[in-house]
A and B are shown apart, each in its own frame.
Chain A
Amino acid sequence: MASVSVSHLVLFIAALLVAVSVTGAMTGSVADISESLEEQSLDTSQRIDTDVTVISDPGSDAVYDDGNGTVTVLVKNTGRNTLSADPERYDVLLDGRYVPANRTSATVLDGERWEPGNVLRLEIDASLASGEHRAVVIVNGDEATLRFAT
């Protein structure tokens, strides 16, 4: 009967519409997930390729200048990536306390960029009491530590 065919048609169209909506939502989510996966894998591989080493001589007088209240840390890029020398791009802890970027200055000593093999001189404004101290530099998740005494 015609009314039965029309109702079947309506139900068919409704079923198709629901299936298409579900599929559309699913493919949209998967596209977002794949984009995030791509960015995460890039980020992870960069973190693995990043390696920094503190090369400061902790027994020397060059680490802490008590006249100016400055801690100088020499950090060598021992990884595969060229790193940013901007203090905003890495974290510095002094005796466990976070040092804001405006209290640090950085200079690449042997090149224009902090390329693999190059050394970064990091100067931290800090007045320290006599005793043992620890400076930690964290770049792309890689930590380098300097223990020194003043």
Chain B
Amino acid sequence: MGFSTSAAAAVVFLGALLCASTLYPVYDTSTERFAAAEDANEERALERQNTDLTLVDATYTPETNVSAASLRVTVVNEGTTTLSVDGTSLLVDGEYVRVESTTVDGDGARTTWAGGERLVVTLDTAALDERPDRIVVVAENGVTDATEEV
């Protein structure tokens, strides 16, 4: 091979090395990012599988003054996933209702709700003018339970 051919080959080879050094870190980061997202997704699926709620009681206490009525809902976490109190939502007759206060096993300062523990939620009844027919509780991962015994 002539000297010019060798020199040209050397330049192309150096270029190929530069390309590889540019591509490889990006490929490595992409693979890692994808794997982390997949792992998190599988973990969420497992948590959802291990979540089980039971709405054990819903007590509506009417008052002659409607604004003083109260609706208290008790839910037991019968699964093994620890849930977030703030992430738990309640629907009353299909409408989202704001939570006034919560206690977990009697403690009002708790923000997590472990397996076997009892969450008691007092709801804002300002929008209710009669006894509701159906209550639905939704955990932060989408698992639900409902009752029509109010």
Q: Does B12 have its Cβ within 8 Å of any Cβ on chain A?
A: yes
Contacts A37-B26, A110-B89, A110-B98 hold; do A57 and B11 have CB atoms under 8 A apart?
Answer: no
B33 to A45, Cβ gap below 8 A?
Answer: yes
Q: How large is the interface on A (under 10, 10 to 19, 20 to 34, 35 or more residues)?
A: 35 or more
Contacts A18-B8, A41-B33 hold; do A57 and B26 have CB atoms under 8 A apart?
Answer: no
A34 to B23, Cβ gap below 8 A?
Answer: yes
Residues of chain A contacted by B56 (CB below 8 angstroms):
none
Contacts A18-B8, A23-B11 hold; do A109 and B96 have CB atoms under 8 A apart?
Answer: yes
Which A residues lie at the B interface, using CB under 8 A?
A: 8, 11-12, 14-16, 18-20, 22-24, 26-27, 30-31, 33-34, 37-38, 40-42, 44-46, 48-49, 51, 53, 55-57, 59-63, 74, 76, 78-80, 109-110, 116-117, 119, 121
Q: Give B114 Cβ to nearest chain A Cβ, in Å.
A: 17
Which B residues lie at the A interface, using CB under 8 A?
A: 3-5, 7-9, 11-12, 14-16, 18-19, 22-23, 26-27, 29-30, 33-34, 36-38, 40-41, 44, 84, 86-87, 89, 91, 93-96, 98, 134, 136, 138, 140-142, 144, 146
Q: Give B121 Cβ to nearest chain A Cβ, in Å.
A: 13
Contacts A117-B86, A119-B89, A121-B96 hold; do A51 and B5 have CB atoms under 8 A apart?
Answer: no
Residue of B nearest to A33 (CB): B23
Residues of chain A contacted by B140 (CB below 8 angstroms):
76, 78, 116-117
What 11 additional pairs, Cβ within 8 angstroms, besides A27-B19, A53-B142?
A12-B7, A20-B11, A23-B15, A38-B26, A44-B33, A45-B33, A55-B89, A62-B94, A62-B95, A78-B141, A109-B96
